[in-house]
Amino acid sequence: MLGSKRFIASKALDELAWLEAREGKITATLIAAASTPKGFEESLIKLRGESEPITDNSYMEYGRRMEPFISLYVKDVYGVMPNEWLIAHELYPEFVATPDGIAWDKPVISEVKTTGTDWGEWKSVPIAYRRQVQWQMYVTGAEQCVFAWLLREDKDGKFQSPWLEPKTLTVDREEKEIEKLLDVAGKLLEKIKEKE
């Protein structure tokens, strides 16, 4: 069970505080990116606070608009409550994650996306997202993630979904993958200390 002290900041209540709480921490998005050689260097720049802000675009806007709907679908079907809280690992406060949903009665989280590709045909989610949810499961102690996505199509210059409801896959916790991510996290922290 997640104790209240592990809930650091809520994006819904204070997005600036949530962003500040993530600074200098190993997040799920950061560790997924850092798992490739190019991504490792880019992640170091982000950890040092030296990266340029990401420019908002129509893809991001569509995701922000649709992700609450996807999260409510996951709540209704799987009983995983929507979440906006940054959560710290029980023993390592520098390891954090904000899963899109948390179940209170079972060790399950959720992650929701909008995409231009139907991943259901692959029977799995892209590796970067698998790494992301493995980190979220490590931080929260979850054993499974409900991964939900809604397809995005351009219709007369505006995004919409051709589906009435999202598609889902479940991703099980993989200790071997988590060990690899912890190795990457250790290397990132070592590099940061070298510059201090």
Summarize pLDDT for 162-196 with one digit per residue, the tens. 888 999 999 999 999 999 999 999 999 888 877 65
Q: How many residues comprise the chain?
A: 196
Summarize pLDDT for 103-136 with one digit per residue, the tens. 999 999 999 999 988 887 767 889 999 999 999 9
Question: What does the block give as tokens for 146?
Answer: 């409900």
Contacts (Cβ under 8 Å, ≥6 apart) of 67: 100, 112, 113, 114
Instruction: Tell me what pLDDT residue 168 has.
Output: 94
Is residue 156 within 8 Å of residue 135, measured between CB atoms? no
| Integer Cα distance of 125 and 127 in angstroms | 6
pLDDT above 60: residue 10: yes
**pTM flag (> 0.85):** yes
| Integer Cα distance of 35 and 177 in angstroms | 11
Q: Binning pLDDT at 50, 70 and 90, where does residue 57 land?
A: confident
Regarding predicted confidence, which is higher, 124 or 30? 30
Residue type, 136: Q
Q: According to CATH, what is the number of the domain 4-195?
A: 3.90.320.10
Say which range, 50-54, 59-63, 111-115, 180-184, has the weakest mean pLDDT: 50-54
CB-based contacts of 4-10 (< 8 A; 24+ apart in sequence): 6/87, 6/88, 6/89, 6/90, 7/85, 7/86, 7/87, 8/85, 8/86, 8/87, 8/88, 8/96, 9/85, 9/86, 10/84, 10/85, 10/86
Domain range summary for the chain, segments of one domain joined by +:
4-195
